[in-house]
Amino acid sequence: MATTVLRIAVSELCEQDELSHSLLLEMVQYDIARPVAGSSIEDWVFDATTAHWLKKALRLRRDLELDWVAVAMLIDLLRERERLDQENQQLRHRLGRFLEDDGQ
Protein backbone atom coordinates (compact mmCIF):
# COMPACT_ATOMS: atom_id res chain seq x y z
CA MET A 1 0.00 0.00 0.00
CA ALA A 2 1.61 3.27 -1.13
CA THR A 3 1.57 6.33 1.07
CA THR A 4 0.61 9.60 -0.60
CA VAL A 5 2.57 12.61 0.60
CA LEU A 6 1.18 16.07 0.01
CA ARG A 7 3.89 18.16 -1.63
CA ILE A 8 3.98 21.93 -1.72
CA ALA A 9 6.12 24.00 -4.09
CA VAL A 10 8.22 26.78 -2.60
CA SER A 11 6.22 29.47 -4.40
CA GLU A 12 2.93 28.12 -3.00
CA LEU A 13 4.39 27.78 0.49
CA CYS A 14 5.72 31.33 0.47
CA GLU A 15 2.43 32.68 -0.86
CA GLN A 16 0.18 30.85 1.62
CA ASP A 17 2.33 31.74 4.64
CA GLU A 18 3.33 35.18 3.36
CA LEU A 19 7.03 34.31 3.50
CA SER A 20 9.85 35.80 1.50
CA HIS A 21 12.34 33.46 -0.11
CA SER A 22 15.08 34.90 2.10
CA LEU A 23 13.09 34.18 5.28
CA LEU A 24 12.39 30.64 4.10
CA LEU A 25 16.08 30.16 3.31
CA GLU A 26 16.94 31.31 6.84
CA MET A 27 14.46 28.83 8.31
CA VAL A 28 15.99 26.02 6.22
CA GLN A 29 19.46 26.99 7.41
CA TYR A 30 18.27 26.60 11.02
CA ASP A 31 16.65 23.24 10.11
CA ILE A 32 13.18 24.51 10.93
CA ALA A 33 12.03 23.75 7.39
CA ARG A 34 13.25 20.74 5.45
CA PRO A 35 12.79 20.57 1.68
CA VAL A 36 12.05 17.04 0.44
CA ALA A 37 13.16 17.75 -3.12
CA GLY A 38 14.85 20.37 -5.28
CA SER A 39 18.44 21.46 -5.67
CA SER A 40 17.92 25.24 -5.44
CA ILE A 41 15.49 27.42 -3.51
CA GLU A 42 13.35 27.99 -6.61
CA ASP A 43 12.97 24.22 -7.08
CA TRP A 44 12.42 23.24 -3.46
CA VAL A 45 9.40 21.14 -2.60
CA PHE A 46 8.10 20.68 0.93
CA ASP A 47 5.70 18.22 2.52
CA ALA A 48 2.66 19.14 4.59
CA THR A 49 4.55 18.42 7.82
CA THR A 50 7.07 21.10 6.98
CA ALA A 51 4.29 23.61 6.37
CA HIS A 52 2.92 22.74 9.81
CA TRP A 53 6.30 23.36 11.49
CA LEU A 54 6.85 26.58 9.54
CA LYS A 55 3.58 27.99 10.85
CA LYS A 56 4.51 27.01 14.41
CA ALA A 57 7.93 28.59 14.03
CA LEU A 58 6.51 31.84 12.69
CA ARG A 59 4.04 32.02 15.60
CA LEU A 60 6.77 31.32 18.16
CA ARG A 61 8.99 34.02 16.69
CA ARG A 62 6.15 36.54 16.51
CA ASP A 63 4.36 35.81 19.78
CA LEU A 64 7.40 35.22 22.01
CA GLU A 65 9.78 37.53 20.11
CA LEU A 66 12.44 34.81 19.91
CA ASP A 67 15.45 34.71 17.62
CA TRP A 68 15.79 31.90 15.08
CA VAL A 69 18.24 29.91 17.22
CA ALA A 70 15.70 29.73 20.06
CA VAL A 71 12.86 28.95 17.65
CA ALA A 72 14.91 26.15 16.07
CA MET A 73 15.63 24.65 19.50
CA LEU A 74 11.95 24.79 20.45
CA ILE A 75 10.89 23.23 17.15
CA ASP A 76 13.39 20.40 17.70
CA LEU A 77 11.98 19.80 21.17
CA LEU A 78 8.40 19.89 19.89
CA ARG A 79 9.24 17.45 17.08
CA GLU A 80 10.85 15.09 19.57
CA ARG A 81 7.86 15.34 21.89
CA GLU A 82 5.53 14.56 19.00
CA ARG A 83 7.66 11.57 18.02
CA LEU A 84 7.68 10.29 21.61
CA ASP A 85 3.91 10.77 21.90
CA GLN A 86 3.40 8.68 18.74
CA GLU A 87 5.78 6.00 19.99
CA ASN A 88 4.02 5.95 23.37
CA GLN A 89 0.64 5.58 21.66
CA GLN A 90 1.93 2.66 19.57
CA LEU A 91 3.39 0.96 22.63
CA ARG A 92 0.15 1.40 24.58
CA HIS A 93 -1.75 -0.13 21.67
CA ARG A 94 0.63 -3.11 21.55
CA LEU A 95 0.43 -3.51 25.33
CA GLY A 96 -3.36 -3.46 25.17
CA ARG A 97 -3.33 -6.22 22.56
CA PHE A 98 -0.86 -8.21 24.65
CA LEU A 99 -3.04 -7.89 27.76
CA GLU A 100 -6.13 -8.92 25.79
CA ASP A 101 -4.33 -12.02 24.46
CA ASP A 102 -3.04 -12.85 27.93
CA GLY A 103 -6.55 -12.73 29.42
CA GLN A 104 -7.91 -15.45 27.11
Choosing among 3.40.50.300, 1.10.1660.10, 1.20.59.10, 3.10.105.10, the CATH entry for 7-102 is 1.10.1660.10
Would you state the pLDDT for residue 91?
Answer: 94
Which of the pair, 58 or 103, is modelled with greater confidence? 58
What's the whole-model pTM score?
0.75
Neighbouring C-beta atoms of residue 85, cutoff 10 Å = 10
Q: From 1, 65, 55, select the one nearest 24 (Cα to Cα).
A: 55
Amino acid code (one letter) for 94:
R
Taking the domains of the chain in order of start, what are their residue ranges?
Answer: 7-102
Rounded to the nearest integer, the mean pLDDT of the chain is: 86
Would you state the pLDDT for residue 104?
Answer: 57
pLDDT digits over 39-76, tens only?
Answer: 888 888 888 888 889 989 999 999 999 999 999 999 99
Long-range (24+ apart) CB contacts under 8 A made by 76-79 are: 76/31, 79/53
Note whether 21 and 41 are within 8 A (CB): yes
Statement: residue 87 has pLDDT above 60: yes
